[in-house]
Structure 1
Amino acid sequence: MKKLFLFLGLMAAAANFAQNNDSMVSLDSIYRTNFLDGVFETKEDFVKGRRKNYEIYPKAFRKDERYKDGPVADPGNTVVFRYKSNDKIVHDVFAVSYNGFLYFEAGSIVVDLNRKDRFQGGGRNFDFVRALIGGQNYIYAESDFADTFEMAGVMQAGGTHTSLLRNKGFVWDFWKHEFNIFRQCKDFNAFISEKNPEGVQNCEQRLDLLSVRRAIEKIK
């Protein structure tokens, strides 16, 4: 009986966490791009605003590792895109614009990182991550990352590298043309301290992504 109560308690806590995490950003407040729908095949295309007018549709990511039959009204913050012409997965591109939202391909994020983040890796390269906040300086989003050396060690030991992945905030820097991942609290503070000193966090605690979002809103 004690095990049953413990299991129910853990399930309730997990559900509460998921609900709170989802409520952190409402659909109405998510960054909207001025780009028309299309595919940016390279970083240079994105910087120069050159898109390919391919028709695509999303399949929404679900917790059970499968995808809903698309298209859907709102695919969520992590999604796979397919070409309408042949139903093949969109991959090996930089970003896509769809229904006013901007999505970065996970594979392109880890390729175009700044020097300090070059050993960060993610999950599936063909997943797309929706931008949450954007302006003339930065575009902010969140995705799962981990240290590539640590992931390699886990896999060599027979484990699964996805167990190391953690949800982290990151920005696309319009001026430097690169991504910057906030790997930990000190890393974020080094980024934000001069731009928005009020956004500096107490590193005795874990990095609070809700506070990160508020800080980015002021400098975007």
Structure 2
Amino acid sequence: MATTTAVSSDLTNTPMYAVRDYSDGFYVTLEDFINKKKTKLNPVERRAIVGFEKKLIPKDVIVDHIFLYTVADQMKLTGVFAVSLEGNLYIQQKNFRKYAVKGDKSEEGDNPNSYHRVLQAGKFLYLEAELANAWSKGFAYGTGGAVGGALGSSMNRLKGIAFDVVKKEFNVLKDCKDFNEFLTIYQAENVECKNKKIDIVTVRENINKIIK
């Protein structure tokens, strides 16, 4: 989120969103998503993020972070902003940075072509992802070797992400001060900051209070 002090706004006319508003299909671009303009869903299957083989995920298992593969040619799905599949809505990771609010442009994950499930919907869409500051990660990887690679990967931390569909912006809730600025926008009571970091449970609890 931007480092400037947030100012509360009039939420009277804030539109409400629901996952069910997006029927099964591909929403290729951000504009397609906003306008609910879908492209026919070619058969895709969910695959695990971890492991070399990227194993198939059973249909009855809910997973929040996945790869999507086309069934016909077993190719990883890329270049599609969002996918609605069997009652769940997934947004591609690289868009978190591409459409980030000012101040969050350096937040990135390790799998830009992966997809994250929308966990809650209402005044905004809420997701979670393991992200870190790209500059810090780049410095760690730059040390070279296995140690540098391990250090860079270990910097990722699970963070909440609020997608303001109207403003076309993803807001990474990366620390306590940042989260309080976000809460102020929605006229919610701030949380106590005992240190810079904020745990994901606290983020979830407060998102529950303001999203509907």
- TM bin (shorter chain): 0.7 to 0.9
The TM-score, its normalising length taken from structure 2, stands at 0.81
Deviations 1:35-94 (A, max 9, x none): 111111111111111111122333342655652235532350011111223221111221
Question: Are residues 59 and 40 of structure 1, via their aligned partners in 2, closer, same or farther at CA, if it must alter by over 3 Å?
Answer: same
Kindly indicate whether residue 112 of structure 2 is the aligned counterpart of residue 98 of structure 1: no
One-letter code aligned to 2:64: N
Identify the residue that residue 193 of structure 2 maps to in structure 1.
Answer: 203
Q: Is the aligned partner of 1:212 residue 2:198?
A: no
Mean alpha-carbon deviation: is it higher for 59-68 or for 157-166? Answer: 59-68
Deviations 1:120-167 (A, max 9, x none): 1111111110111101x2000100111111011011111122121111
CA distance in structure 2 between the partners assigned to 1:195 and 1:132 by the alignment: 19
For 2:24, the equivalent position in structure 1 comes to 37
Which of structures 1 and 2 has the larger relative contact order (alpha carbons within 8 angstroms, sep 6+)? Answer: 2
TM (normalized to structure 1)? 0.78
Sequence identity percentage: 26
Listed as ranges, the matches of 1:61-210 within 5 Å are: 61=48, 64=51, 66-70=53-57, 72-135=59-122, 137-158=123-144, 159-160=148-149, 161-198=152-189, 200-205=190-195, 206-210=197-201
- Structure 1 spans left out of the alignment, 5+ residues: 1-30
CA-atom RMSD, angstroms?
Answer: 1.9
5+ residue gaps, structure 2, are: 1-17
Which structure shows the higher helix fraction?
1
- Aligned pair count reads 188
Partner-residue secondary structure (3-state), 1:193: helix
1:48-63 aligned within 5 A: 48-61=35-48
| 3-state secondary structure, aligned to 2:192 | coil
